[in-house]
């Protein structure tokens, strides 16, 4: 009783008294849920957040302060660059073999654009055997573990909404061949939806309208969950970070890890040439001397399309959310109070209840959702390597239900990459009149991790591939 009086007072002081409007109607269990949600919120900090992100629309003042960043080319042209790549590959392999590297996937997103029921990692996403995304990633980690003769722990970030289903999926599939002790789950934080008047929204009478706090929430989640401590106990120095929805990702890349280590970076990133100047990816820039990713929506069109004398885009490289983070960097960023990164605001229609307790399903935005983005940690790092990569080799995400960046475009790109690997190994691949691959081809990482690996494994003379064939190269 005394407890609820205290909570009521706190809420009223911060203009959020409405959150207990239906408290008396709730069962004991419902009350427990609501009180737990409220206890997780620091309302003084929430006042600050409302002032900074809801009462005003935060913006950038970029004009004149931006420069393009240095990119390490994926295909080195000069002898010095070639030597650095060779040394980096060796360094990455050494760190892997010494058990210094962990894999980290962020899989807490809601996947609203795709509209898939359940965690996105369960989506069947390969062209021949229809493996779920989680298996595609797991097989790469298993292949790298075998190659380097070491366990590579895999940290999987889920959200409150998909944690139970994700863990059950891994159990059901026996961790895809990985040792269950080396697959570790952590749940990301949530953020309440905030009405334009600064008041938090109720989803129903006994709970707030909450959503995951963005992939940038992974930094605090790593600390809060104990995953950072676990990494320290295991002797992990580097975290290989990737998203759940890109089946072409190279989860464990010795070159990238080695460049990060040799250049003593704290957080590194892979980037690729934008498809067109306005492509909906973050732009790599240097802002006041710090490597920074500016979202496509925040990048003024004249800068996004700027082409100096040589005709090439000035800000040509987009961010694809593949990173190496030093564990010590995450430790440093998360050792203070509060979240380490700023929020990004999105105005969204959020289902909720009104002051009479009636459900509301708005068609237009009624609230602000706030998310942290992991790339905002880049300017806080003392060193960053941006490695330029080939889109066809490493990036074809599944974001949308149809069109670009959908399952069908990704299947097409997976087949195209597999065909390119086979051709590099000397195999003749059937193609149609438009030059498109005329077969379905899938190569598991357990068979070959790269084009070079495949070349070393197959004899093209003994290999025939005919039009319309379904070819799977697996374990």
What are the structure tokens assigned to 100, written together?
């210094």
Among 96, 102, 107, 267, binds ligand UTP (CB under 6 A): 107
User: Near ligand UTP by CB under 6 A, which window of 33-41, 206-214, 283-291, 455-463?
Assistant: 206-214
CA distance 269 to 87: 19
> In terms of CB distance, is 250 or 399 closer to ligand UTP?
399
> In terms of CB distance, is 148 or 162 closer to ligand UTP?
162
**Cβ 309 to ligand UTP shortest distance, Å:** 36
User: Near ligand UTP by CB under 6 A, which window of 29-37, 242-250, 251-259, 342-350?
Assistant: 242-250
Question: Is 320 near ligand UTP (CB under 6 A)?
Answer: no
Question: Is 214 near ligand UTP (CB under 6 A)?
Answer: yes
Among 14, 199, 344, 399, binds ligand UTP (CB under 6 A): 399
> In terms of CB distance, is 108 or 247 closer to ligand UTP?
108
Given a contact cutoff of 8 angstroms between Cβ atoms, the answer to whether 106 and 217 are in contact is no
Among 38, 66, 244, 407, binds ligand UTP (CB under 6 A): 244
Question: Is 280 near ligand UTP (CB under 6 A)?
Answer: no
Q: Which residue minimizes CB distance to ligand UTP? A: 109
Question: Is 189 near ligand UTP (CB under 6 A)?
Answer: no
Among 69, 92, 99, 111, binds ligand UTP (CB under 6 A): 111
CA distance 275 to 351: 36
> In terms of CB distance, is 56 or 112 closer to ligand UTP?
112
**Cβ 176 to ligand UTP shortest distance, Å:** 17
Among 188, 268, 384, 444, binds ligand UTP (CB under 6 A): 188
Question: What is the number of other CB atoms lying within 10 angstroms of the CB of residue 45?
Answer: 13
CA-angle at 345, arms to 344 and 350, nearest 5°: 135
Phi/psi at 224 (5° precision): -55, -40
Question: Is 34 near ligand UTP (CB under 6 A)?
Answer: no
CA-angle at 226, arms to 220 and 227, nearest 5°: 80
Question: Is 318 near ligand UTP (CB under 6 A)?
Answer: no
Question: Is 339 near ligand UTP (CB under 6 A)?
Answer: no
Question: What is the number of other CB atoms lying within 10 angstroms of the CB of residue 435?
Answer: 7
Strand pairing class (267-273; 386-388): parallel
Start-to-end C-alpha separation, the chain: 61
Among 13, 55, 65, 113, binds ligand UTP (CB under 6 A): 113
Beta bridge partners of 285: 292
> In terms of CB distance, is 14 or 215 closer to ligand UTP?
215
Contacts of 269 (CB under 8 A, 6+ apart): 284, 291, 293, 319, 322, 323, 375, 378, 384, 385, 386, 387
Question: Is 424 near ligand UTP (CB under 6 A)?
Answer: no
Residue 53 exposed, middle or buried by CB count within 10 Å (0-12, 13-18, 19+)? middle
Query: Backbone dihedral region of 176: left (phi > 0), alpha (psi from -120 to 50 degrees) or beta?
Result: left
**Cβ 168 to ligand UTP shortest distance, Å:** 17
User: Near ligand UTP by CB under 6 A, which window of 88-96, 105-113, 288-296, 326-334?
Assistant: 105-113
Residue 310 exposed, middle or buried by CB count within 10 Å (0-12, 13-18, 19+)? exposed
Among 106, 122, 141, 454, binds ligand UTP (CB under 6 A): 106
Coil/strand/helix, residue 449: coil
- In 3D, which of 137, 148, 151 has the Cα closest to residue 236? 151
Residues in touch with ligand UTP (CB under 6 A)? 106-114, 120, 157, 188, 212-215, 217, 243-245, 371, 399
């Amino acid at each position: 009783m005394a407890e609820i009086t205290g909570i009521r007072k706190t809420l009223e002081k911060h203009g959020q008294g409405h959150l207990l409007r239906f408290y008396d109607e709730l069962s004991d269990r419902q009350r427990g849920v609501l009180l737990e949600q409220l206890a997780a919120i620091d309302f003084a900090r929430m006042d600050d957040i409302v002032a900074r992100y809801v009462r005003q629309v935060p913006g950038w003042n970029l004009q004149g302060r931006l420069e393009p960043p240095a990119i390490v080319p994926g295909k080195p042209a000069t002898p010095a660059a070639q030597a650095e790549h060779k040394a980096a590959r060796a360094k990455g392999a050494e760190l892997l073999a010494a058990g210094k590297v962990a894999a980290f996937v962020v899989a807490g997103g809601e996947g609203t654009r795709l509209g898939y029921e359940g965690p996105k990692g369960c989506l069947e996403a390969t062209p021949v055997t229809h493996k779920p995304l989680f298996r595609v990633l797991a097989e790469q980690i298993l292949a790298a573990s075998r190659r380097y003769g070491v366990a590579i722990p895999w940290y999987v970030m889920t959200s409150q909404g998909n944690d139970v289903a994700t863990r059950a999926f891994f159990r059901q599939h026996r961790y895809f061949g990985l040792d269950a002790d080396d697959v570790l789950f952590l749940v990301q934080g949530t953020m309440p939806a905030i009405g334009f008047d600064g008041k938090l929204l109720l989803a129903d009478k006994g709970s707030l309208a909450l959503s995951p706090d963005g992939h940038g929430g992974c930094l605090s989640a790593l600390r809060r969950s104990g995953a950072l401590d676990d990494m320290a106990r295991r002797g992990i120095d580097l975290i290989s970070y990737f998203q759940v929805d890109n089946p072409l990702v190279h989860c464990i890349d010795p070159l990238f890890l080695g460049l990060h280590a040799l250049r003593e970076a704290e957080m590194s990133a892979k980037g690729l040439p934008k498809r067109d100047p306005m492509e909906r990816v973050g732009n790599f820039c240097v802002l006041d001397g710090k490597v920074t990713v500016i979202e496509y929506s925040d990048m003024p069109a004249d800068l996004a399309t700027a082409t100096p004398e040589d005709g090439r885009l000035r800000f040509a490289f987009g961010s694809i959310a593949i990173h190496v983070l030093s564990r010590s960097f995450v430790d440093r960023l998360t050792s203070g109070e509060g979240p380490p990164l700023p929020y990004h605001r999105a105005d969204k229609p959020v289902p909720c209840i009104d002051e009479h307790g009636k459900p509301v399903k708005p068609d237009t935005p009624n609230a602000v959702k706030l998310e942290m983005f992991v790339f905002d940690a880049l300017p806080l790092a003392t060193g960053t390597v941006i490695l330029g990569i080939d889109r066809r080799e490493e990036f074809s995400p599944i974001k949308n239900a149809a069109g670009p960046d959908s399952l069908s475009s990704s299947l097409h790109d997976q087949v195209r990459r597999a065909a390119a690997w086979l051709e590099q190994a000397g195999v003749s691949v059937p193609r149609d009149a438009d030059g498109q691959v005329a077969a379905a081809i899938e190569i598991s990482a357990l068979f070959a991790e790269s084009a070079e690996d495949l070349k070393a494994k197959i004899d093209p003379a003994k290999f025939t591939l005919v039009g319309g064939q379904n070819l799977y190269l697996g374990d």
